[in-house]
Structure 1
């Protein structure tokens, strides 16, 4: 099963907020032992709310399930030796600091590769490890803007808009996890690890494969067109008498069936609408014509008749609608995590074979330093060494372990 695919793999996680934690969460979901290493003040993602779960944000809990938590002061003179002992036995190290920061701490790729040449070292940054922007910080919204993605979103003549979900962060996490899995396979052949350079910028560009490819071909700048697709029509949302419905009927057969369902068979012979490209060129007239019909009936009516005609459609749902979606329960994508202090927390589960994955319990996100002592024991630190590191302030711990650690 995928939940056990990476069993035995040890991952050191020096990441924060969303991109890196998405990557390490996926690795934990697939069975890796992920050790989340946080500074004494905790990672920044704990502070980003609302909503809140105790003293930490729901965002932190959503991106950090399945991990063990260690609190380590990387600026403390004894911390480097602690990390290097862990590096010697680890399989993967993932960090999301600005390029150069890990090297200044003595934990750059070259330094750790000397200790463990089999280590796969994944750096996640805004713009990449090299180049004129390498040392610039960047977050999801900045990269949505700088990559051109924000220019596609919204309505004509409206202020700039962004995707509200941190889409660039999340896809970067998926790209990082995919790259690590590929590097693990390569390590079986070569016996060596290596350095992976994963950036939000590159991930944001990958999201725009279709739009950038079209621009490189014809030089036409794409413009924001709301819910519509620039390459096909109709493939957009229409207003009904009580809401909105998304309709995709751009190929010939479905367009003809749509015209029949709407009682407008004459549109099939209208030269403005007789091909998808002509409908794109005359989108304004087409939209107004379709809107005038869709506005006459409620969404539920249109969903029924369009689906009977095998026309692709969906209600434009909000999250309250989503929770009632019949496929959501079937797929098992809403996962429950049992937290010893906060009870049942609900989140989005592992997206592959999700129903089977949801049947197995997820470990809750760790409290700050919750597993510091446990993890150091696993790396052969004795109790005297651990006590001394705690007293010196190199590591921190919190009281209480989850039921998974008894």
Structure 2
């Protein structure tokens, strides 16, 4: 059987998506990319992101980039009719995803006990700022706040300078990734045990878990990690170095790789120099070491060093703008920018491709990002005519 004849891994899974903005829509898009049917429930005003970012042909490409492979159904969840329609949809669903503050869904009339009554096989996934327990449960949260309160922001920025926010909304994206992982894990458990369960990820917990070795060092020493800019907080040399015509990023991961770097740049004896013969010594004198490497690398161009050092087995690259990234033959070979026809006045929308590559059932943009309420009549008519079955 060829790959085109196989169904996507989440084919047959119905997801009711109550999320908006970023963390939740990113999660549900990942499920849709893997073949799930995602029904995005929107208020009559729509997801706020529909009005954000640059528009082309009257359409937000920002919205499109996080909402492909979804159907849009408009429901007023503050009306009896809207809540009734949602309850009937949940009877047919496998997954519910929401990113309200804890307790909001219950106040809408869908507390955990009612959800279990409606559909005991339902996997109920929540993405929020701080989690549903603890003193900060009711606080509003956006990425900037989560970066600040997770410790993530405290380690970003140049040494001796104030903390910096990561330029991308990492806490939203990490929370979305973890929630998608939790959902597919809960679905697997349901296949074994026959019942659904709740899945929760918070933006703070998600990005805190990415602090990994910095947290481990803190647990050992009791000290706070310091900001080191582009240098590694534990390893030297590591960072950006000057060549004859621009900077390159070099990350020797161990003494063996460092030896190859030093040999290639004409400093083969530096690793045995008593100033630099251990990582601890190199880290303590990393500014001095950085200057020595800069002087050696000034002998050739950036592109030549990238070729030479990679050929020698030393991880090396250049800082690329997004324009350069999408012109890069490696990125093009990986199809990380795709054009998705929208079949109307919106034309073709370019968006990021699929970072996960499946050999037999590759991800695909089966549906373009929907217009507001585009599928309301279709989905509700099928529901009322009994053309869908209960959650599997």
Please list the CA deviations of residues 292-345 of structure 1 after superposition, one character each: whole Å capped at 9, or x if unmatched.
222343211211221222211111212122112222122222222111222221
Once residues 361 and 136 of structure 1 are traced to their aligned partners in structure 2, the CA distance between those partners, rounded to angstroms, is: 36
| 2:102 is equivalent to residue 102 of structure 1 | no
Report how far residue 241 of structure 1 moved.
Answer: 3.0
Count of matched residue positions in the alignment of Structure 1 and Structure 2: 381
Q: CA 1:227/1:125 → structure 2, altered by over 3 Å: closer, same or farther?
A: same
Instruction: Give the TM-score taking structure 1 as reference length.
Output: 0.89
Normalising by structure 2, we get a TM-score of 0.92
Matched position secondary structure for 2:384: coil
Distance in 1, matches of 2:334 and 2:50, equals: 29
1:337 to 326, 340, 343: 340
1:192 Cα deviation from its structure 2 partner: 0.8
For the pair 1:5 / 2:3, whether they are aligned, the reply is no
Q: Which residue of 2 aligns with 1:350?
A: 354
The one of 32, 35, 44 aligned to 2:36? 32
Partner residue of 1:79 out of 65, 82, 87: 82
In the TM superposition, what is the alpha-carbon distance from 1:361 to its structure 2 partner? Answer: 4.2
Equivalent of residue 372 in structure 2, options 368, 372, 386: 368
Say which SS state the counterpart of residue 370 (structure 2) adopts.
Answer: coil
Residue in structure 1 matched with residue 60 of structure 2 by the alignment: 57
> Is contact 1:336–1:362 with CA below 8 Å preserved after alignment?
no
CA distance in 1, matches of 2:230, 2:314: 17
Confirm or deny: 8 A CA contact 2:338 2:352 kept in the other structure.
Answer: yes
Structure 2 matches for 1:5-404, cutoff 5 A? 5-49=9-53, 51-340=54-343, 341-353=345-357, 360-381=364-385
Structure number with higher relative contact order (C-alpha < 8 Å, ≥ 6 residues apart): 2
Measured at CA, do residues 127 and 348 of structure 1 come closer, stay the same or move farther in structure 2, by a change above 3 Å?
Answer: same
C-alpha separation between the residues in 2 aligned to 1:40 and 1:161?
37
* Separation in 2, partners of 1:241, 1:112: 64
Shift of 1:66: 0.5
Aligned equivalents of 2:349 and 2:358: distance in 1? 17
Tell me the distance in 1 between the aligned counterparts of 2:192 and 2:252.
48
Q: Hey, what's the Cα distance between the residues in 2 that align with 1:217 and 1:186? A: 36
Determine helix, strand or coil for the equivalent of 1:63.
coil
5+ residue gaps in structure 2?
Answer: 387-392
SS in 1 for 2:73: strand
Using a 3 Å threshold, how does the CA distance of structure 1 residues 252 and 59 change in structure 2: closer, same or farther? Answer: same
The alignment's C-alpha RMSD in Å is 1.9
Bigger drift between 308-317 and 51-60 goes to: 51-60
Per-residue Cα deviation, 1:227-265 (whole angstroms, up to 9, x for no partner): 221122222111223322111224222222222222223
Superposed structure 1 runs of 4+ greater than 4 Å apart: 354-361
Secondary structure, aligned partner of 2:40? strand
